[in-house]
Amino acid sequence: MTPEQLEKLIRNVPGFPAPPVVFKDITTVLTTPGALADTMDLLEERLEGIAFDAVASIESRGFVFGAVLCARRRLPLVLVRKPGKLPAEKIGEDYELEYGSGRVEMHRGSVPAGGRVLIVDDLVATGGSAAAAGRLVERDGGRVAGAAFVINLEFLGGRRRLEDLGWPVRWIVEVHGEE
């Protein structure tokens, strides 16, 4: 599969969760036979040169890609979740996003001490949730090795925001405007 073929599999849903957002629905990638494996191959190609020994995935679509990456590489997976979803002691960070604000949490002590952690999600828009996940990783004793996404909504500036933090950022599909 090429990045262009992958882009054609991603469904656009105008007005979700609220206008003027055009939601990039990756469930079509998950329901197409072989597309998830091909997507992960494309993502792994882009990770060349980034050393990491754990992955922090952001709820919920990021869990899919982060879990597959961890299974392939036999690495620990750190779950970054919405508030109220984790049962043990947790730490949290607030952030701004394209259509409002949010908060993410993770279990305290889930990052390997001094670990190099790759942040993984399905897409980067403003970079708010990924930056918040990175702050959580650092507060828990790890270092952010970089970030990887299936989709980069370039017109919203999240990639640049994360690169300004000193992170290498990788993606497969780049979107330049509301499509």
Return averaged pLDDT per consecutive 10 residues of the chain, 179 residues in all. Answer: 98 91 95 99 98 98 98 99 98 84 97 97 96 98 99 97 99 89
Q: What is the pLDDT at residue 179?
A: 60
Q: What is the pLDDT at residue 100?
A: 74
Sequential DSSP letters for 104-130: EEEETT-SPTT-EEEEEEEEESSSHHH
Q: What is the pLDDT at residue 99?
A: 65
Q: What is the pLDDT at residue 160?
A: 98
How do beta strands 54-58 and 90-97 pair?
A: unpaired
Q: What is the pLDDT at residue 8?
A: 98
pTM of the predicted structure, to 2 decimals: 0.96
Please give the Cα distance from 63 to 170 (Å, whole number).
17
**Residues with Cβ within 8 Å of residue 31, at least 6 apart in sequence:** none
Domains of the chain plus CATH, in order, are 50-175 (3.40.50.2020)
Please give the Cα distance from 108 to 93 (Å, whole number).
12
Cα 86 to Cα 5, 44, 92, 143, distances in angstroms: 36, 29, 11, 22
Answer yes or no: are the C-beta atoms of 117 and 143 closer than 8 Å. yes
